[in-house]
Amino acid sequence: MTIMDEYQDIKELLKLRREINATAKLRQRIREASAKRRLIERRKLWQWSSAVAACVTIVLATTVLFKSNINSNENSNCIVYVAGKQVCGTDARDIAEADVAKIDKFLQTIKAQQTAEKNKVQQFINHYNTINK
């Protein structure tokens, strides 16, 4: 027996003896499984699409509501909150002006104290320079 004969024998052994085909029942099961899978994928797509549409709707509605609240506040004269309660109109303007006046007075007091401290430091420096001459 030569090498070529062995090769032919091996080739003969590896050949298909019969044709392999799927049965009609197996083909039907595969079709049903793929149809079921496509249906599940479509449902998932619809669920995600619905969730995204709901989120977009919520964002747009919130934006519209906040813009309308901001615009309505701009149209009113003055609004302040005192102890957690909303005050509008002239009372609110009076409270706001009083607060601004208090802040101005506080800033003036701070400025005066800073000036006084600078003067004290300058006097100390002048006194020190006159003693050391």
Q: Is 86 helix (H, G, I), strand (E, B) or coil?
A: strand
Residue with tokens 């091996």: 10
Q: Could you read off the pLDDT of 14-40 as tens digits, one per residue? A: 887 777 777 889 889 989 999 999 898
DSSP class of residue 84 equals T
Q: Which 3 state secondary structure label does DSSP give 103?
A: helix
Cα–Cα distances (Å) from 5 to 8, 12, 18, 62, in that order, read 5, 10, 23, 84
Over residues 62-88, the pLDDT tens digits come to 888 777 655 454 445 677 777 777 777
pLDDT on residue 1: 54
List pLDDT tens digits, range 101-124.
Answer: 888 899 899 999 999 998 888 888
Enter the pTM of the model: 0.36
In this predicted structure, what is the pLDDT of residue 32?
A: 92
Average pLDDT, the chain: 81
